[in-house]
Structure 1
Amino acid sequence: MNHRTVPVASALSGGALVRAWGLVPYDETFAAMQAFTAARGPDTPDEFWWVAHPPVFTQGVAGKAEHVLGAGDIPVVQSNRGGQVTYHGPGQVVVYPLVDLRRLGIYVKEYVFRLEAAVIQTLERFGVIGFRVESAPGIYVNLADPLNAGLPAGPRQDPFAGLGKISALGIKVSNHCTYHGVSLNVAMDLEPFHRINPCGYAGLATVDLATLGVHVTPEAVAAVLIERLAAHLSPPATA
């Protein structure tokens, strides 16, 4: 990902730019995000990078090797994002918001909340109910009735019983500026998730929209997700 491969950016109403990179290796994207963040100044427009990655497992800064059960032919790349191990592959929408939190006037906890809100609203657009699970970042669905039901009611000895994870989050903040971001499973080969403990949780089911019976293109999902992210992450208008 060098200057010769940077895609033309489209502008959002809040002044941020969107770049659709297509299918690009994770390590190249990682290096490009770091370079962008290191070079940006107080007036640099925020950007949203939409990508897909060839099959790869990525480990967060706290990632434990034992959560990779058997990578096989899929590479494992060490990252500086938060969280444990996750999988990226074709058929998954990945959006990396490169935003200045100072301009937004928010801190990391609120930023994560807004990322999750954008995913929940995106799923809602396609008829799926997504929700949070306390102390487990990301977005989940009720496998028994993903189109109509949220978190199962009543006491829960296993917080993930009956749930499937459809979206993962992992972020890095450097000098108040974010990179890495959010992935949303659309129509992908889910087998590699069985080679890991997704996000560090043994036995956690992982699903995509196609598995839930929602057949839509990654392009359609990405358009909604970027629109929702931009709505939540645009700086307040000045008088």
Structure 2
Amino acid sequence: MSSAPPLLRKTLGHVDYEPTWRAMQAFTAARDDATADELWLVEHPPVFTLGLAGKPEHLLRETGIPLIHIDRGGQITYHGPGQAVVYLLIDLARRRIKVRELVSLIEQSVIDVLAGYGIAAHLRDGAPGVYVGDAKISALGLKISRGCSYHGLSLNCDMDMTPFSAINPCGYAGLKSVQVRDFGVTDPLPVIHAKLADALAARLELHHGLHPA
């Protein structure tokens, strides 16, 4: 069995969305077979993002929050302070992982973290992301370029949830959004970010171990 490829973590802190997205594109375009995979742990100022097939009508009203058309899959979502965002810059071919497997790995990692807080989360057929009851707590979206992924996941932690009322989250009218604070979790964002990175790294390592060279 070969050892798992390197997986580096970069804590970028509170950063604007568009320059971070452009940096992910540049990283992916420049990487080669020797480039280590990376997890970027970030928090963004308020921003709506709309995926490649996204419908502008899912923004229900003007809020003054910028809307950025981006290159991931999926519809509209919101990022803002108090939300843990993890971007996965992963060479899928090198890890012998399919896109659907990566999506499942991300979702299960979020479920693992929430379970550690005593929050029972689940998936919904045909609706990527993670849910608690009938409300969404975590969104995900990916772009695959040259066999490598970028973009990733967001987990609502301790934030102003008001902007979610201005959109159909991920294209679903009336979908409620919740956050971990609603369930009594008081850990600061860096702690939750670290737990997410640990869970993702563990599942990526496990997947690689199941596919020996």
TM-score, with normalisation over the residues of structure 2? 0.94
Match for residue 177 of structure 2 among 167, 181, 206: 206
Structure 1 residue 112 corresponds to structure 2 residue 103: yes
Residue 15 of structure 1, CA deviation: 2.2
1:41: which partner in 2? 32
2:203: which partner in 1? 232
Give 5+ residue unaligned stretches, structure 2: none
Give 5+ residue unaligned stretches, structure 1: 1-12, 143-162
**Quick one: which amino acid aligns to residue 190 of structure 2?**
E
Larger radius of gyration: 1
CA distance in structure 1 between the partners assigned to 2:56 and 2:12 by the alignment: 30
Residue 23 of structure 1, CA deviation: 0.6
| Superposition CA RMSD, Å | 1.4
Percentage identity across aligned positions?
Answer: 50
Q: Which has the higher contact order (CA 8 A, sep 6+)?
A: 2
Maintained 8 Å contact 1:187/1:210: yes
CA distance in structure 1 between the partners assigned to 2:56 and 2:167 by the alignment: 10
Residue 99 of structure 1, CA deviation: 0.5
CA distance in structure 2 between the partners assigned to 1:65 and 1:39 by the alignment: 32
TM-score, with normalisation over the residues of structure 1? 0.84
Structure 1 residue 180 corresponds to structure 2 residue 151: yes
Runs of 4+, deviation exceeding 4 Å? none
Residue 54 of structure 1, CA deviation: 0.2
Structure 1 residue 195 corresponds to structure 2 residue 136: no
Residue pairs, 1:67-216, within 5 angstroms: 67-142=58-133, 163-216=134-187
Task: Provide Cα deviations, 1:51-91, integer angstroms capped at 9, x if missing partner.
Answer: 00000000001110110011311000011000000000000
Residue 121 of structure 1, CA deviation: 0.2
**Quick one: which amino acid aligns to residue 65 of structure 1?**
P
